[in-house]
Amino acid sequence: MGIFEYIFQQIFMNIIGNGIYYLLRKIIGDKRSYKEIQDQTEGYIKFFTGVIFVFIIIVLMKKFIK
């Protein structure tokens, strides 16, 4: 089970979390580049950004798709 947990975490942190976190920072008005933002942020912030985003997508799908 350890390998699946690692893969799941990497998917949320790297693919979804990084992109959404970067987009949110740019909307707020952050002028730094993508690399600077990624180098200065904690891994858990990006991970939970991805988890929350997927959770919101699931809730919206359950609400609108019947």
How high is the pLDDT of residue 51? 79
Question: Domain total for the chain?
Answer: 1
Nearest to 20 by CA among 4, 28, 40, 8: 28
Answer whether 21's CB lies under 8 Å from 49's CB.
yes
| 56 or 13: which leads in pLDDT | 56
| pLDDT band at 50; cut points 50, 70, 90 | confident
| 56 or 37: which leads in pLDDT | 56
Q: Which domain holds residue 56?
A: 3-64
Per-residue pLDDT of 4-42, as tens digits, reads 778 777 777 777 777 888 888 788 887 878 777 667 666
pTM: 0.59
